[in-house]
Structure 1
Amino acid sequence: MKNLKFDETILSIHKEIQVKLKKTNIKIDNYIKSDIPVIPKLSKYFFNKRGKQLRPVLCLLSSKMINKEYSNLKSDISMAAALEFIHAATLLHDDVIDKGKTRRGQRSVNDIWNNKFSVLLGDFMFSKSFQLMTEAQSLKAMESLANVSAKISEGEFLQMSNENNTSLSISEYMQIISLKTAELFGAAMKIPAILTDKNNKIIEQLNFVGINFGMIFQIIDDHLDYFGTYKTGKSKGQDFFEGKITLPIIILLKKANLDEKKLLKKIFHNKKRTKKDFLKTLALLEKYNVESISLKYANNLKQKSKNILKRFKNRPSYLLGELLDTSINRKN
C-alpha cells in the first residue's frame, strides 16, 4: 500500500516552489557537464531519477517561508543545488560502503560500472557543491555547508565503528543519525536565513526544525526496515542482514529478558544473519511492542518542530508541518 498522504504532501510542496525547483534542476544539469565524456554519462544516469529532493526542497520552502523577497532571491537556488550534490555524493559513497546494488529503483553506479567509478563520481559531486557555494557569494553559508560535509563523514565513521555493536545506546544512535543524516537537513533549512542576514534566533530555530526533520526521517527509515510494508529500492530487513544496530534493536535489547538478549547478541555478532534469525527478531519486536515505542521518539521530535513552525503562520510553514506529520505516517 502506498503512502499517498506523504506523496501528496511532497507534490504540494513541489508545486509551491516549482519555479525555483525547476531552476535548481537546470543548474544541476549544467553543472554535471564535462569534457570528460564518462562524467556526464554517469551523472545523467545517476540523476535519471531525482527522487524526492528533500534537501533542496526544504531549502527553497524555508526561503519562501521567511523571505518577502523570495521571488527575487537567486542565491537560494545555488545553495539548493549544492545541497543536492552533497547528498548525491554521500549516496554514491554509501553504495560502495554498503555494497548496494540498487538506488532509487534502478541499478546503482557501482553495480553497473564499479566501485572506483562510484567513488570518483561522488568526489566530482562534492567538488560541484563547493563551486555552487561560491556562486551564492556567502562565506557564512559556505562555512555552514563545509562544516556539515565534515560532520557527515564523522557520522559514517561512527556508524561503521558501531556495526554489530549490541551495546550501542539510544543517545549514541541519535548522535550517529544526527551527524550522518540530520545535520544536512538543518543546513538546508537555515541557509536561506543566513543568505538574507536574518537574526541568529531565526537561524537557530530553522536549524533545529531541519535537524529534527532529518532525525525523524532516519528514525522512520530504520523503523520501516522492520515494520514497513515495502521499501522502494530497499528490501525489508536490509539493515538487519547488514548487521546495523538501529533504534528498534536498541529498544528491543533494553526490553528483552536475559535469554532473549543472549540470542539477539549471538545473531548480531555472527558474520551473517539468516531469514530464520530475522523472523525470530520480528517475533521479539512484536512481543515487546517496539513498533509503537520507536514511533514515540519520532513524534516527540515532530511536536517540538511544529511548535516553532506555528510562529511563521504562512502556507510554507503549514506545508512543512504537513511534511512532518506525513513523514511519520509513511509506509515506505
Structure 2
Amino acid sequence: MSVLDFGAVGDGVTDDTVAVQRAFDAAMPGDQVFLPAGLTFVQSQVLVVRNPGVTVTGGGTLLATRESASSLTLAADGVVLDGITLTISGTTRRWDAYEQHRVRIAGHSGIVIRRVTVDGSAAAGVFVGNAAANFVVDRVTVRNTRADGVHVTESSHDGRIIAPVVRNSGDDGVAVVSYRRDAALCARIDIQSPDVDGVTAGRGISVVGGEDITYRDIAVRNTYGAAVYIGAEDVWSTRGTARVAVLGGTITGANYQASVDHGAVMVYNGTSTQAVSDVSISGLSIVGTRPSASWVVGLISDSPAGPGLRAVVLQRIAVSSGGPARLLTSNRATTTFTATGWTSAGSQVADRWA
C-alpha cells in the first residue's frame, strides 16, 4: 500500500502527517507501506509504526518540520524500515527527549533499520532503547545530528549494527551507554565496520556502560575527543563496563580539541563504585593524533580506592610519527594491563611500560 492511497501528497510543502499515520495504522503484519521515491512527505508530529511485521519502504523522504516532535518511532516486533531518507527543516539546539530522535527503536524484538539515510536530527540520528532485543541497524548513513549518530541504551541487547556511516555528529559517532537507572546493562551487541568522520563534540566510538560489546574493523577520523572511548562515568551516572573488544581498524586525526585531553584511545573510570574490566583493543593503526595530547592511549582512573581498570589488553597497536611523544599512560598502580606488539613510526616497541 502507498501512503498516497491515504491522502498523502508528497510535494514537500503539504503536511502529510495524518495521511502517513493512517497508512501505518492500516498496515497489517506482512504488509509493506510505500513512501514513493522522488517524493517528500512533510511530518509535523511524531510518527509511530505500531503494528508488528510491517515494512516501511519505497525510497521516499520524510521531512520533519518541528524539531520538538520530529521522531519516526518503530514500536512493534518485526518492523522493518528500509531504504527511505529522513531529514529535518532545521534545528536550533540539542534536544534529548524520545520525540526528538530522528529514528527511534522503542523496545520490542526483531526491528530492522536497513539502508536508511538520516540527514539532520535534533537529538540522535538513530536511537535504540527501551530494552530493544535482536535489533539490526544495517548500512545506515547518519549526518548532521545534534547528539550521537547511533545511540544504543536502556538495556537494549542482542543486536547488530552493520557498516554505519556517520558524518558530523554532535556527540559520539556510535555509542553504547548504560545508565544506573536502567534495569540492566546493554549487552551482546556487535558493531561491524563503523565509519565515523567529523565528531563536533564527542568521541568516535564508545562504550560507557555495557557488557559483551564488540567493535570490528573501525575507521574513525577527526574526532573532538578520543576516537575510541571505553569506560564508566560519574558525571552521567553510568554503569560499569565488561568484556568489550575493539578489533582492528584505523584512527586518524583524533582528539583535535585541546581542552579535552583524551588522546586517540582512552579507557577511563570516572567512578568509585563501577568496574571497567576485560577490555581488549587490538590491531589498530593510529595516525595524526593531536601532538599536544598527553598520550596516544590513556588508561585513566579517577578514584584511587575504587574498582578502577582491570585486565586491559592492548595488542598490535601501530602508531605513526608526529603525534604525542608518550604512547601509553596508566595513572594508577592498581590498573592491570598488558601491551604487546606495538610499533611506533615503523619500529618495534619493547613490551615494557612504566
TM-score, normalised to structure 1, is 0.24
Which structure has the bigger radius of gyration?
2
TM-score (norm 2): 0.23
Structure number having the greater strand percentage: 2
